[in-house]
Amino acid sequence: MKVSDYIVEYLIEKGITDVFGYPGGMVTHLMESFSKYSEQISAHLTYHEQGAAFAACGYAQASGKPGVAYATSGPGATNLITGICDAFFDSIPTVFITGQVNTFESRGQYIVRQRGFQETDIVSMVAPVTKYAQYVESADKIKYYLDYAFAEAISGRMGPVLLDIPMNVFRAEIDSDMLQGTILQNRFVSREKVNKAAEMLKTALDNAEHPCCLIGNGVKITNTQQAVKDFCHKFHIPMVTSMIAFDAVSEDSQNYGFVGAYGDRAANFVVAKSDLVITIGSRLDVRQVGAKRENFAPDSQIVRFDVDEGELEYRVHENEISIQANMQETCQVLKHIEDYCDYDYSTWVQICDVIKKELSVVDKRTTAELVKRVSHNFPENAVVTTDVGQNQVWVAQSAELKKGQKVLFSGGHGAMGYSLPAAIGAYYASGKPVVCVTGDGGLQMNIQELQFIKREKIPVKIVVLNNDALGMIRHFQEMYFEGNYYQTKPSGGYSAPDFRRVAEAYGIRSVRYDMNSLPDMASGFADDLPLLVEVMINEDTYVFPKLEFGKPNQDQEPLLNRELYDRLMQLGDTEMKKKKFLGGGQNK
């Protein structure tokens, strides 16, 4: 059989139902093979390779299976790189297949820039942002490389892989029964390791009076939030999250929001007052802990569970306890503590509830209320995608999610233009209603994918929060550059079109509302047709609360009244110090 046919059959055997790509000369054999198997796997044409890459990310995030995207050599391959970076930084299992010039026209050892038309060394380019990138030099190695690539994508800290395949390898004939593959050894859970980690966590809990659990993306992408919630519920431990994991426990009464520069004030206060922070699958990057890492939970012991040893080496506190473990191992540690220990931190939870209640009346802003109202229209079990910028943070801060709803972000890479193509991938992965929330800047990055949505008539609802500005950067210019709004507002050279008319040009239904007269839109979100809703909001919008560089997380802008700030920071301290002095802690 032809190598390209073998690749498609391999994807089908792996349970992949949908892939995304763009035509090109070096992938014509692969395209022809997809057409042969169209009843078993669908190859979807996007209108830009970046759109294909983001769609593959959305497919993987919504399904848990690897997302797959393909592109031709040269500019096709390089256009995938932004999506590859997104998958790498957010641990999204993805497989990218690029075409390459025939082996006989490759530059090889010649000291020239290029021999074949559109020849580009994509493997070297993406090596730093993939778990595995390989040039497939001969047809008889295709199974080996596919096996290795898929195993790498889904093992350990998940992420992207890339196979670069010359055109003459795609069209080569092989005997599939004679191909040699590879089997990566499964990493078995060590009972000794689990017991040792459980003992370290138990020691930390024995000495804690007010612990909290910080839940990261590692919990969300492995769908293990129930195990973490069970652990926190049994011992009455408050939960906080990273921003891109905010929906993992959003409906839980013991959740106090997401931490960090744009995080919930209550969450940041809970962490600041904790004496033990248990972080699970969270990178603790600058946006989470602040520029001065020592300011994060300054009086806390930190116990970190993470599959990535490199992340653990980037310490927040010098005395933190690092436990390298995947989520299966981590869940076993938590279950071990549940089975053999008995802690009760309910008094601390009551203090956290007071903090949350006191701060609930702060930061009541029009845009926050707007996003809250919009979120009430999201259908049951909807998958929501966001772009990057103010719209993303507003969703994390203010959307009121129902149980079963999931939000997909471009987190670490922070790529504008992510939301629309990711919504496409999420729809094919889940079959659920999908809502794409974006801004006027982000939508213009991959606006061409509106044609995909029209062509396939998929029921994606697009909400454009249009402030006719690049609002996040405009805010920076206001804070640090004396209001020099160069390239971020119409007065500085930026502009946005009438998206309602753009949608009509693509043949997509569209409506426009003013932010102050937004009606109930539930019926429009409930049908099976695409819809674009443009919401006009004021140009001078802000994301608050927001942390000023160098300050501790809980002291966000606009600054709290100092009497309230001091009172919340001291809340419960006397009682807890007394318990420690008497040796009568809660952990009994």
Return the CATH architecture of domain 3-178.
3-Layer(aba) Sandwich (3.40)
Q: Is it true that domain 191-362+549-582 has CATH number 1.10.530.10? A: no
CA distance 294 to 267: 18
Antiparallel, parallel or unpaired: β 67-71 and 18-21? parallel
Asked whether the beta carbons of 120 and 78 are under 8 A apart, the reply is yes
Q: What is the mean pLDDT of residues 111-117?
A: 86
User: For residue 366, is pLDDT > 60?
Assistant: yes
**Which of 510, 568, 565, 554 lies closest to 535 in space, CA to CA?**
510
Provide the pLDDT for residue 213.
98
Provide the pLDDT for residue 523.
81
Provide the pLDDT for residue 581.
42
Considering only residues 396 and 516, tell me which one the structure prediction assigns the higher pLDDT. Answer: 396
Q: Give me the chain's average pLDDT, please.
A: 93
Asked whether the beta carbons of 422 and 86 are under 8 A apart, the reply is no
Query: Where does the pLDDT of residue 575 fall: very low under 50, low under 70, confident under 90, or very high at 90 and above?
Result: low
User: For residue 262, is pLDDT > 60?
Assistant: yes
Q: What percent of the chain has pLDDT over 70?
A: 96
Query: Where does the pLDDT of residue 246 fall: very low under 50, low under 70, confident under 90, or very high at 90 and above?
Result: very high
Question: Comparing 3-178 with 191-362+549-582, is the CATH topology the same?
Answer: yes
User: For residue 585, is pLDDT > 50?
Assistant: no
* Lowest model confidence (mean pLDDT) among 3-12, 24-33, 175-184, 395-404: 175-184
User: For residue 583, is pLDDT > 60?
Assistant: no
User: For residue 215, is pLDDT > 90?
Assistant: yes
Buried b (16+ CB within 10 A) or exposed e, 182-213: eeeeeeeeeeeebeebbeebbebbeebbbbbb
Q: What is the mean pLDDT of residues 569-575?
A: 79
Q: What percent of the chain has pLDDT over 90?
A: 82
The per-residue DSSP string of 135-154 comes to: E---GGGHHHHHHHHHHHHH
Structure tokens at 180: 């040699």
Provide the pLDDT for residue 188.
62
Structure tokens at 106: 């490759």
pLDDT in tens, 168-212: 999 999 999 888 888 776 666 678 889 999 999 999 999 999 999
CA distances from 483 to 466, 478, 488, 546 (A): 20, 4, 11, 18
Domain spans in the chain, listed from the N-terminal domain onward: 3-178, 191-362+549-582, 366-536
Q: What is the mean pLDDT of residues 336-363?
A: 94
pTM to 2 decimals?
0.94
**Which secondary-structure segment (H or E) carries 230?**
helix 225-235
* Lowest model confidence (mean pLDDT) among 87-96, 375-384, 443-452: 375-384
pLDDT in tens, 513-552: 998 888 888 888 989 999 999 999 987 888 999 998 889 9
Provide the pLDDT for residue 193.
84
Provide the pLDDT for residue 582.
41
Domain 366-536 class, CATH top level: alpha beta
**Residues 55, 57, 58, 62, CA torsion sign:** positive
User: For residue 579, is pLDDT > 70?
Assistant: no
Asked whether the beta carbons of 471 and 389 are under 8 A apart, the reply is yes
Q: What is the mean pLDDT of residues 48-66?
A: 97
CA distance 132 to 160: 7
Provide the pLDDT for residue 121.
96
pLDDT in tens, 413-464: 999 999 999 999 999 999 999 999 999 999 999 999 999 999 999 999 999 9
